[in-house]
Amino acid sequence: MLKGRNLINTDDFSVEEIDEIMALAQDINKSPENFSNSCRGKILGTLFFEPSTRTRLSFESAIHRLGGDCIGFSESQSSSTSKGESLADTIKTVSNYVDVIAMRHPKEGSSNWGSHYSSVPLINSGDGGHQHPTQTLTDMLTIKESKGKFSGLTIGFCGDLKFGRTVHSLTKAMSNYDDNHFVFISPEELQIPEYLKIELDNKKCSYEEAKKLEKVIGQLDILYMTRVQKERFFNEADYIRLKDRYILDNRKLKDAKSDLVILHPLPRVNEIAVEVDDDPRAMYFEQARYGVIARMALILKLLGVE
Nearer to ligand CP, 132 or 172 (CB): 132
Q: Which stretch binds ligand CP (CB under 6 A): 6-14, 39-47, 218-226, 265-273?
A: 265-273
Q: Interface with ligand CP includes 252 (CB under 6 A)?
A: no
Q: Interface with ligand CP includes 4 (CB under 6 A)?
A: no
Q: Which stretch binds ligand CP (CB under 6 A): 144-152, 194-202, 259-267, 271-279?
A: 259-267
3-state SS, the chain, equals CCCCCCECCHHHCCHHHHHHHHHHHHHHHHCHHHHCCCCCCCEEEEEECCCCCHHHHHHHHHHHHCCCEEEEECCHHHCHHHHCCCHHHHHHHHCCCCCEEEEEECCCCHHHHHHCCCCCCEEEEEECCCECHHHHHHHHHHHHHHHCCCCCCEEEEECCCCCCHHHHHHHHHHCCCCCCEEEEECCHHHCCCHHHHHHHHHCCCEEEEECCHHHHHHHCCEEEECCCCHHHCCCHHHHHHHCCCCCECHHHHCCCCCCCEEECCCCCCCCECHHHHHCCCECHHHHHHHHHHHHHHHHHHHHCCC
Task: Report, in Å, the least distance between residue 134 CB and ligand CP.
Answer: 8
Nearer to ligand CP, 205 or 282 (CB): 282
Task: Report, in Å, the least distance between residue 198 CB and ligand CP.
Answer: 26
> Which residues 6+ apart lie within 8 Å of 184 measured at CB?
156, 157, 161, 191, 192, 207, 208, 209, 210
Q: Interface with ligand CP includes 169 (CB under 6 A)?
A: no
Task: Report, in Å, the least distance between residue 197 CB and ligand CP.
Answer: 24
Q: Interface with ligand CP includes 124 (CB under 6 A)?
A: no
Nearer to ligand CP, 152 or 267 (CB): 267
Q: Which stretch binds ligand CP (CB under 6 A): 62-70, 173-181, 246-254, 261-269?
A: 261-269
Task: Report, in Å, the least distance between residue 49 CB and ligand CP.
Answer: 13
Q: Interaction with ligand CP in 27-66: which residues (CB under 6 A)? A: 52-55
Task: Report, in Å, the least distance between residue 47 CB and ligand CP.
Answer: 14
Q: Which stretch binds ligand CP (CB under 6 A): 12-20, 148-156, 182-190, 262-270?
A: 262-270
CA 24 to chain centre: 18
Q: Interface with ligand CP includes 135 (CB under 6 A)?
A: yes
Nearer to ligand CP, 57 or 273 (CB): 57
Which of residues 101, 196, 205, 266 is near ligand CP by CB under 6 A?
266
Q: Using CB under 6 A as the criterion, which residues of the chain lie in contact with ligand CP when the complex forms? A: 52-55, 126, 132, 135, 265-267
